[in-house]
């Protein structure tokens, strides 16, 4: 990198090193890479002109909460961090927000409350992850059962391509069909096509603060019957989270969140329907009791609703506290959720590993987690084998390798088996159309 961007280049090597990795397990920063913190589109253009001229690989990055390696620096490459491009312009009449990629998801949500508007997508990392990263992975989260994923809220994009050309996709208006809409192609493309410098996001009127039901089951079958009962509700819950028995035990090991010993399943369910959240959670509680819940708690107010969610929120730290693990992100038809959980348990038993299986039951999107001792080569191999077997199980149930985390480097080995060689070749050709030099996050997604 030449010296034309002196105050955007991170020169302190210790600081620069922190930009080298994302949250993927075992991520290691390469030896040499340059970090540029872009402040606006012009910075991005300049970096991508430089990169094309010097054939330098570029890894675009936000808050580095990716779990797949998609945001890890590349040897000799540029890390283009867009956290500082974080303007927010809210248009309440059009119900859109025009934002920079660096806006933190939770900050955008906070800014919208003043307008009585909401931006639903809510990855677990919403307090730190950026909209640019959410777009890069088509992030989901807890609300998707009612509100859908990031792609459902991106109306248009400004993107800088390798070489510095600025293009726009989609639109600001509510409708528009002039030419092809390339927005959906860029959402979920994990930095392999270009750098998003602005996004037009569709907003919705703010729902009510959610109320919560927590239901405990003593068998997995009853837990899954609970999920089915919820799918039949006319008023779709805004959240349906499943914890299997091992997840509940892991949380209780981490701290006492009040779950009974021997629980084989917990469902957390919310409603945020305007004026009817209480009525809905009472109906959900009835349905869950009929499905066989042994204990059902209903929150009567927001504070209590929040309290009931604490156990769910403790899951990630609880899993982290247990040490090395591989986390899956498979998604199957909701009707096959039970088959998936049983397959995960069976695989764990066969591989001699401990595992938990929890996640977004309303979407069929679970995050099975296998624990291993990283100093034990046999355990490492067993975890890797288990990871692959879960993918196979998801495919056999009509599902997919990744629901919301993306492919990155960790899941790239499975891509071609899911899509087929012809489709991968087509997608590589598509990438080449936008990135003929192959410098945008090379090796990611397509391996």
**Segment contacting a copy of itself (CB under 8 A): 25-33, 43-51, 178-186, 377-385?**
178-186
**Interface pick for a copy of itself out of 165, 218, 295, 306 (rule CB under 8 A):** 165
How, if at all, do strands 195-202 and 96-99 pair? antiparallel
**Segment contacting a copy of itself (CB under 8 A): 3-11, 247-255, 280-288, 418-426?**
418-426
Judge whether 27 and 72 are in contact, CB under 8 Å: yes
Give yes or no for residue 442 binding a copy of itself (CB under 8 A).
Answer: no
Say what the alpha-carbon torsion angle 302, 304, 306, 311 is, to the nearest 10 degrees.
Answer: -160
Give yes or no for residue 132 binding a copy of itself (CB under 8 A).
Answer: no
37 Cβ contact partners less than 8 Å away, ≥ 6 residues apart: 8, 10, 81, 83, 84
**Interface pick for a copy of itself out of 65, 81, 183, 379 (rule CB under 8 A):** 183
Q: How far apart are CA 245 and CA 252, in angstroms?
A: 11
Which CB, 168 or 278, lies closer to a copy of itself?
A: 168
Contacts to a copy of itself from residues 237-256, by CB under 8 A = none
Q: How far apart are CA 168 and CA 173, in angstroms?
A: 14
Give yes or no for residue 235 binding a copy of itself (CB under 8 A).
Answer: yes
150 DSSP assignment: G
Contacts to a copy of itself from residues 295-334, by CB under 8 A = 331-334
Which CB, 265 or 399, lies closer to a copy of itself?
A: 399
Q: How far apart are CA 440 and CA 444, in angstroms?
A: 9
Planar angle of CA 417, 347, 336, nearest 5 degrees: 70
**C-alpha radius of gyration, the chain, whole number:** 22
Contacts to a copy of itself from residues 40-79, by CB under 8 A = none
Give yes or no for residue 418 binding a copy of itself (CB under 8 A).
Answer: yes
Judge whether 140 and 404 are in contact, CB under 8 Å: yes
In angstroms, give the least distance from the CB of 71 to a copy of itself. 15
Q: How many binding residues for a copy of itself (CB under 8 A)?
A: 76
Which CB, 127 or 333, lies closer to a copy of itself?
A: 333
Which CB, 209 or 333, lies closer to a copy of itself?
A: 333
**Segment contacting a copy of itself (CB under 8 A): 78-86, 120-128, 232-240, 289-297?**
232-240
Judge whether 404 and 138 are in contact, CB under 8 Å: yes
In angstroms, give the least distance from the CB of 328 to a copy of itself. 13
CA–CA distances in Å: residue 401 to residues 104, 191, 193, 198, 212: 27, 19, 21, 29, 30
Selection from 261, 264, 282, 263 nearest residue 273 by Cα = 282
Q: How far apart are CA 330 and CA 131, in angstroms?
A: 22
**Interface pick for a copy of itself out of 114, 261, 274, 377 (rule CB under 8 A):** 274
Phi, psi of 94 (to 5 degrees): -80, -10
Which CB, 56 or 68, lies closer to a copy of itself?
A: 68
In angstroms, give the least distance from the CB of 215 to a copy of itself. 20
Give yes or no for residue 437 binding a copy of itself (CB under 8 A).
Answer: no
In angstroms, give the least distance from the CB of 157 to a copy of itself. 12
Contact mark string toward a copy of itself, 9..38, x via CB under 8 A: ------------------------------
Contacts to a copy of itself from residues 84-123, by CB under 8 A = 91, 93-95, 116
Q: For 267, left (φ over 0), alpha (ψ -120 to 50), or beta? A: beta
- Provide the H-helix boundaries in 86-209: 105-113, 131-137, 144-147, 183-186
Judge whether 328 and 367 are in contact, CB under 8 Å: yes
- Name the strands in the sheet holding 96-99, side by side, starting at the edge strand that comes first in the sequence: 88-91, 96-99, 195-202, 154-160, 166-170
In angstroms, give the least distance from the CB of 431 to a copy of itself. 8
Selection from 128, 23, 124, 8 nearest residue 69 by Cα = 23
Which CB, 166 or 307, lies closer to a copy of itself?
A: 166
**Interface pick for a copy of itself out of 310, 321, 374, 426 (rule CB under 8 A):** 426
**Interface pick for a copy of itself out of 3, 31, 234, 256 (rule CB under 8 A):** 234
Q: How far apart are CA 244 and CA 134, in angstroms?
A: 27
Contacts to a copy of itself from residues 340-399, by CB under 8 A = 360, 362-365, 398-399
**Interface pick for a copy of itself out of 401, 410, 439, 440 (rule CB under 8 A):** 401
Which CB, 29 or 424, lies closer to a copy of itself?
A: 424
């Amino acid at each position: 990198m030449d010296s034309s961007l002196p105050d955007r280049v991170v020169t302190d090597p210790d600081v620069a090193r922190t930009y080298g990795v994302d949250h993927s397990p075992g991520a290691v920063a390469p030896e040499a890479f340059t970090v540029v913190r872009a402040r606006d589109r012009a910075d991005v253009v300049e970096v991508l002109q430089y990169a094309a001229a010097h054939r330098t690989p570029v890894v675009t990055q936000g808050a580095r909460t990716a779990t797949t390696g998609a945001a890890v620096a590349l040897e000799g490459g540029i890390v283009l961090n867009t956290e500082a491009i974080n303007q927010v312009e809210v248009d309440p009449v059009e119900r859109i927000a025009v934002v920079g990629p660096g806006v933190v998801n939770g900050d955008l949500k906070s800014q919208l409350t003043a307008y009585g508007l909401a931006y639903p997508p809510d990855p677990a990392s919403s307090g730190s992850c950026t909209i640019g990263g959410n777009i890069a992975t088509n992030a989901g989260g807890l609300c998707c059962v009612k509100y859908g994923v990031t792609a459902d809220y991106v109306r248009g994009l400004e993107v800088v391509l390798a070489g510095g050309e600025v293009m726009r996709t989609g639109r600001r208006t509510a409708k528009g069909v002039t030419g092809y809409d390339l927005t959906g192609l860029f959402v979920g493309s994990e930095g392999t096509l270009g750098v998003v410098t602005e996004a037009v996001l569709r907003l919705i009127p703010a729902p009510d603060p959610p109320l919560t039901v927590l239901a405990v089951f003593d068998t997995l079958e009853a837990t899954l019957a609970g999920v089915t009962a919820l799918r039949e509700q006319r008023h779709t819950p805004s959240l349906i989270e499943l914890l299997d028995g091992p997840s509940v035990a892991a949380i209780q090991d981490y701290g006492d969140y009040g779950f009974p010993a021997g629980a084989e399943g917990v469902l957390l369910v919310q409603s945020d329907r305007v004026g009817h959240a209480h009525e809905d959670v009472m109906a959900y509680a009835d349905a869950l009791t009929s499905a066989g819940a042994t204990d059902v708690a209903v929150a009567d107010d927001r504070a209590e609703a929040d309290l009931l969610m604490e156990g769910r929120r403790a899951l990630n730290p609880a899993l982290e506290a247990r040490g090395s693990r591989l986390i899956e992100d498979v998604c199957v038809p909701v009707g096959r959720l039970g088959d998936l959980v049983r397959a995960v348990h069976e695989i764990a038993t066969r591989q001699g590993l401990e595992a938990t299986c929890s996640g977004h039951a309303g979407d069929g999107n679970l995050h099975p987690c296998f624990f291993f001792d990283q100093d034990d080569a046999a355990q490492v191999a067993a975890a890797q084998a288990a990871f692959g077997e879960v993918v196979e199980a998801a495919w056999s149930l009509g599902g997919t390798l990744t629901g919301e985390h993306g492919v990155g480097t960790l899941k790239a080995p499975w891509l071609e088996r899911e899509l087929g060689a012809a489709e991968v070749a087509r997608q590589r050709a598509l990438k080449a159309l936008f990135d003929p030099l192959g410098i945008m996050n090379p090796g990611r997604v397509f391996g």
